[in-house]
Amino acid sequence: MGTRRKAILVALIVVGALTLFVCAGAIAADSPPIAVSVSATIPSTIQLTMPTTSVTWGAAVPGTVMTSDITASVNSNKAWSLKVTKNHDLQNVGETQTILSSNFKFTATAPPGGTGTLTATEFGTGVTVVAGVHGSGMGTTISYSLNVPWDQEPDTYLATHTYTATQP
């Protein structure tokens, strides 16, 4: 082998070794720190659940007071209020007879930390039932009470009550 070839071969070996040394050194060196910015936007959130959505008295006898309870549970990350509205007073199917609101009332107790305990309150158009603080499972029991008048015609009487949980 010629001297020139040997010199080129030695030079290639040296360059390869240097390249390997430099690359190995770069891999072993510490890299600069990288900052990661973390952000979470949490919107106002509210959820209302009512396991029972029907109050039915099959044999509402005149001269008696019928009662039934329903439960409203609110999950909210802000203060909240629970309101109820009615579409109309209790009316018979033919809409010719009415049981007045003075005979159909409710009672509700605010959850812990809340406000608005109501006793014998008539269902109206936009009555605030209770108000509560933020948290999950903030529940209240709403007790329906129907005083069946003696002069009420026999029939099935209907109304719809709509519950809405809102945040101020």
In a domain, 20, yes or no: no
In a domain, 70, yes or no: yes
In a domain, 108, yes or no: yes
Structural domains of the chain, count: 1
Q: Is 161 exposed, middle or buried (0-12, 13-18, 19+ CB in 10 A)?
A: middle
Q: Is the dihedral of CA 153, 103, 144, 166 positive or negative?
A: positive
Is 146 strand, coil or helix?
strand
Separation CA 134–CA 167 (nearest Å): 10
In a domain, 10, yes or no: no
Residue 44 contacts residue 78 (beta carbons within 8 Å)? yes
Entry pTM: 0.75
- In three-state form (DSSP H/G/I as H, E/B as E, the rest C), the secondary structure along 111-148 is CCCCECCEEEEECCEEEEEEEECCEEEEEEEEEEEEEC
Four-CA torsion 127, 130, 136, 140, nearest 10 degrees: -100
Per-residue pLDDT of the chain (168 residues; tens, 9 = 90+): 667 666 565 555 655 655 555 555 555 588 999 999 999 999 999 999 999 999 999 888 999 999 999 999 999 999 999 999 999 999 998 889 999 989 999 999 888 888 888 888 888 777 888 888 998 989 899 999 999 999 999 999 999 999 999 998
CATH of the domain at 109: 2.60.40
Residue 127 confidence (pLDDT):
82
In a domain, 124, yes or no: yes
In the block, which residue shows the tokens 């600069």? 32
Residue 62 contacts residue 149 (beta carbons within 8 Å)? yes
Residue 122 confidence (pLDDT):
87
Domain of residue 120 covers 46-50+60-166
Residue 116 confidence (pLDDT):
84
Residue 98 confidence (pLDDT):
93
H or E element at residue 6: helix 3-28
Separation CA 38–CA 30 (nearest Å): 24
Q: And the tokens for 74?
A: 């609110």
Residue 7 confidence (pLDDT):
58
Four-CA torsion 70, 140, 103, 83, nearest 10 degrees: -110
